[in-house]
Amino acid sequence: MGYQNLKFPENSVFLVTGGAGFIGSNLCEAILNLGYKVRCLDDLSTGKQENVDLFIDNPNYTFIKGDIKDLDTCMKACEGVDYVLNQAAWGSVPRSIEMPLFYCANNIAGTLNMLEAARQNNVKKFVYASSSSVYGDEPNLPKKEGREGNLLSPYAVSKRADEEWAKQYTRHYGLDTYGLRYFNVFGRRQDPNGAYAAVIPKFIRQLLNGETPTINGDGKQSRDFTYIENVIEANLKACLADSSAAGQAYNVAYGGREYLIDIYYGLTKALGVDKEPNFGPDRAGDIKHSNADISKAKANLGYDPDWSFDKGIKAAIEWYKDNL
């Protein structure tokens, strides 16, 4: 259970791309707490300087301001690195529909640069962020690897392309790659601001500020909301996985299913707010229901998440109360 007792070789060096972002900064923090060296690569386009400043005084932490779209930057960042945790990407399905060329350049070509840099620098393990969006319109629940549908957004295309490129690097170059299909991650340091903010922090911020949140659609869509601690566990356990598990993608979730309208009323209750939501149109490219089968990650990576949605949402609410 968890990751706090995981052991890596002494003086191991981890490169976290997108390390100034929500998931990346939490990975940096966890690795530093385990006593290993962390290199953070981020261009601060969506990541935050404050997430760098948290660790900048730690002698095991190095920040590189740079862009994964530049191969030379990736090559330098990978020098002497044992494990790459590639989180650098732009998220948001709606934004990807508005900016398809950028998503191709950043999420696909940028990841390919990182794969090539990792290969040339003899990195041991390359773990990268994929997404539940790769399941597209496949209607069956739970979502199971190998049973994908038609992709519904440029963002989903970018993540599926990353998986295919990673397979090639395992097949032809012997680079151990592990794709992690994140299901609606939430938790501390997730940005509650902006048009493309994730729903949980956005609702919490709005309710704390006395605003009325808008739910896209009827609120009856469901998601396998996954607390950040489970995602950290999956990344670190993938770094210790057997090579026979490489070249594949894995669902990373708790394996639950929460309805948006239930989450909304749960938040109003927890925050002591009596406010009905507004309802807006469905978002283009969104999947209606999402719930993960995590048996493959359990079998191949030893993934055993112990943060349920209820446990995670309590922790998240407390963090936002203290930090908003």
Catalytic positions are 155
What DSSP letter does each residue of 242-299 carry, written as one string?
-GGG-SEEEEES-S--EEHHHHHHHHHHHHT---PPEEEPPPTT--SB--B--HHHHH
Under 8 Å between Cβ of 119 and 159? no
* Eight-class DSSP state of 196: T
In this structure, the number of other CB atoms found within 10 A of the CB of residue 87 comes to: 28
Q: Which two tokens stand for residue 107?
A: 């999420």
Report helix, strand or coil for 167.
helix
Answer for the pair 91, 142: CB distance below 8 angstroms, yes or no.
no
Cβ–Cβ under 8 Å, residues 287 and 132: yes
Q: Which residues of 94-125 are buried (b: 16+ CB within 10 A; e: fewer)?
A: bbbbebeeebbebbbbbbbbbbbbbbebebbb
Report the alpha-carbon distance of residue 152 to residue 286 in Å, rounded: 7
